[in-house]
Amino acid sequence: MKIIGISPGRRNFLRKSVAMAPAVVLMAGGAAAVVSSGSSGWDYKPAYFSEAEWVLLCALVDRMIPADAEGPGALEAGVHEFIDMQMNTPYAYGALWFMQGPFVPSPDEFGYQLAMNPRQLYRSALAGLAQAVQKKTGKPFDQLDAAGKDALIADLEKGALEIGEVPPKTFFAQLLQNTREGYFCDPKHGGNKGMAAWKMINFPGARADYMDWVEQYGKRYPLPPVSIA
């Protein structure tokens, strides 16, 4: 099962992401002092996203990291819940970013250049995407088959699908970043349910001491991961 925009396989995606897993855990901790309510599956009620936005977001992250034999998908890991919880943090209000003008189109190496904070970006981009998909296919995104969804996400990545104010590549990058964060974060932040992603890549989590295993190359770490909580 391919990961859109990353590589033909989940394993390549994880190989690139696992190197930054500790950083992801720390980033999530700094961006949100939010503890999951413990809800899982479909019991979770979004605090920020509307019903239509929520359906579209869930369908998107489900295709960014689909479930397969190697491990859980984004929905099983609670990525959608993580993103919704992030929308009510200082991070999502732009409090952690420099948000003063001028705002001008710039090369990627200059970083994020929009006047929108993440909350505004998601609200605008999801509405624009819904309209673009309906116009192009005659159906809502969530009602398309897997191949159709993948093709549209690929268009976002390439900048080939106009979605209104938000540049498609910018929205794809934001969604991909938040999907990765939700997949590998400490479970206390709402994602990585049951530490399933950590177990899949044999990441020890927040264990205080595993120095005895640092130089035991080629051996699988035998202990389960530990959450900050």
**What is the domain count for the chain?**
1
Q: What is the per-residue pLDDT for 108?
A: 74
Q: What is the per-residue pLDDT for 224?
A: 80
10-residue mean pLDDT series, the chain (229 residues): 44 51 38 36 85 98 94 95 96 83 76 84 98 98 97 97 95 96 94 92 80 81 82
Based on its alpha-carbon atoms, the radius of gyration of the chain, rounded to whole angstroms, reads 18
Residue 108 included in any domain: no
Cβ-contact 171, 156 below 8 angstroms: yes
Residue 182 included in any domain: yes
Residue 220 included in any domain: no
The position carrying tokens 């925009």 is 5
Measured CA to CA, the distance from residue 170 to residue 69 in angstroms comes to: 31
Residue 202 included in any domain: yes
Residue 14 included in any domain: yes
3-state secondary structure of 5: coil
Residue 223 included in any domain: no
* Domain ranges, residue 161: 10-37+48-98+113-206
The three-point CA angle 223-205-193 to 5° equals 100
Q: What is the per-residue pLDDT for 214?
A: 79
Residue 103 included in any domain: no
